[in-house]
Amino acid sequence: MAETPIFISDTGSPSKILGVHGGRGTLNWKRFVTGLMMSGNWDSFEHNRLEPGAAVGEHVHSRTEEIYFIIRGKGLMHYGDDRFEVGPGDLIMTPLHGRHGIETIGDETLEFFVVEALPPEIVDALPEYSPSAE
């Protein structure tokens, strides 16, 4: 697998990301909105489908916290040195600078939402912004 992820996109489908964050397999990723579209301290709202056998490699966010909400399938969440199984209805919060990743367990696609939120120390350092009606 390539060390740098490869993105395959078109205007009507989720992007296919191969080897995201040094992981394996394919992540089908769709960003619905970004922070520039919202008034809140959010960076993005995303829908993800991680195919069987695939994994998002362990990584750290230096700007956003992430909230994962599992819709279907089973996964193994990596957080620091800990590993725990997750499934439909589970919500996982990963703090700023927390090393994390996720992989599928079993033969079913793991489907989940991710919200990236900006913590106060980041928001306070950014210029003031609110979306316009334009």
Mark residue 124 as left, alpha or beta (left: phi above 0; alpha: psi -120 to 50; beta: remaining): alpha
Domain chopping of the chain, boundaries: 6-123
Calpha distance 98→67 (Å, rounded): 12
User: 8-30 burial, b if ≥16 CB within 10 A, otherwise e?
Assistant: eeeeeebebbbbbbbbbbbbbbe
Mark residue 107 as left, alpha or beta (left: phi above 0; alpha: psi -120 to 50; beta: remaining): alpha
pLDDT band at 9 (very low <50, low <70, confident <90, very high): low
Superfamily of domain 6-123: Jelly Rolls (2.60.120.10)
pLDDT tens profile 78-114: 999 999 999 999 999 999 999 999 999 999 999 999 9
| pLDDT(6) > 70 | no
> Which stretch, 1-5, 15-19, 22-26, has highest mean pLDDT?
22-26
Given this model, what pLDDT does residue 1 score? 47
Calpha distance 36→82 (Å, rounded): 34
Given this model, what pLDDT does residue 97 score? 94
Calpha distance 24→129 (Å, rounded): 37
pLDDT tens profile 35-68: 766 677 888 889 999 999 999 999 999 889 999 9
